[in-house]
Amino acid sequence: MKYIYNNTQIEQTWKGQIVLPNVYLLLTDISVINSWSLDDDVISDIVSGNIVVSRTDDASGHISDVSDAIGYMKSFIPETIHVSTAPPFATPNINIDGTTKSLYKRVHGINVEIPAGQTGFLDFAVPYPEVKFSGAKIFGCDLKDTLDFFILDTETNTYSQAQGSFYVLNQFGFDVEMPPMGIYENTSNYSASLYAGMIVSCAYKNNGTESKYISMNMWIHEVK
């Protein structure tokens, strides 16, 4: 089941349906859900925060991440995921709504040359239909350098339907300070779901006095 929550203080009308402020609307029929997920006004209001997509009829089910919310509406994200064993990355198999799928680890590397005092971008477009992103390792860093870490929509904003290009779906790193030993590694105990065309973007600021070659390896797990 999917719920739409009117996160405004006024009555709203979406898809001909009046929804009072602070009220949950239950969507159960697949054809109705598909219709809502393809509606430009609905997607726009999810992005703006006027609509909150929820798994339940209370705040505990709210999906705060815009990309996850849109993916959930578009049925990219299953309503219930049953992992055959825990932790999920201890096994290559997961069970999603009764269907067994496999996880295939893929390691991708990218690099960029960054002049002194400037910011370079290590951008990677997801080449698989669905992946779990669990961490990255950065080489060539120095003390006083910083980075920001983003997940961006596609050039045509496929998932957010926002105007323009490369809408910021999420941000995981904020002025992260680099260590002095040349290697920075960060992993998560839980994975982020990413979909084809989304861009993992690392904005690396070279605060040194010389140009630097910065590279990054990413650990992703293809779901198929």
CATH assignment at residue 214: 2.60.120.1090
Q: Which of 73, 101, 116 is a domain's end point?
A: 73
Which residue range(s) make up the domain with 163? 82-223
CA proximity to 153, closest of 67, 94, 40: 67
**Which whole number is the average pLDDT over 68-78?**
65
Give the pTM: 0.57
Which amino acid makes up residue 185?
E
Q: What is the pLDDT, as a whole number, of residue 152?
A: 92
Comparing CA positions, the residue from 67, 105, 101 lying closest to residue 81 is: 101
pLDDT at 138: 93
The one-letter code for the residue type at 29 is D
Residues 52 and 116 in one domain: no
Sheet with 130-139, strands from edge to edge, namely 81-82, 93-96, 99-114, 212-223, 130-139, 183-195
pLDDT value at position 86?
Answer: 42
Same domain, 88 and 180: yes
Q: Is the pLDDT of residue 154 over 80?
A: yes
Last residue within a domain, chosen from 49, 73, 97:
73
> What pLDDT score was predicted for residue 100?
73
pLDDT band at 61 (very low <50, low <70, confident <90, very high): confident
179 lies in the same domain as 215: yes
Residues 61 and 97 in one domain: no
Long-range contacts: 176-179, Cβ < 8 Å, 24+? Answer: 176/146, 176/147, 176/148, 176/149, 177/143, 177/144, 177/145, 177/146, 178/138, 178/141, 178/142, 178/143, 178/144, 178/145, 178/146, 178/147, 179/141, 179/143
**Are residue 58 and residue 138 in the same domain, yes or no?**
no
Same domain, 48 and 158: no
Residues 93 and 186 in one domain: yes
Residue whose entry in the numeric block shows the structure tokens 């430009």:
40
Domain end marker among 54, 73, 92 = 73
Domain co-membership, 169 together with 215: yes
Least confident of 70-79, 118-127, 192-201: 70-79
Q: Which amino acid does the sequence have at 201?
A: S
Neighbours of 208 (CB within 10 A): 16
Total of domains in the chain? 2
Q: Report whether pLDDT(111) > 90.
A: yes
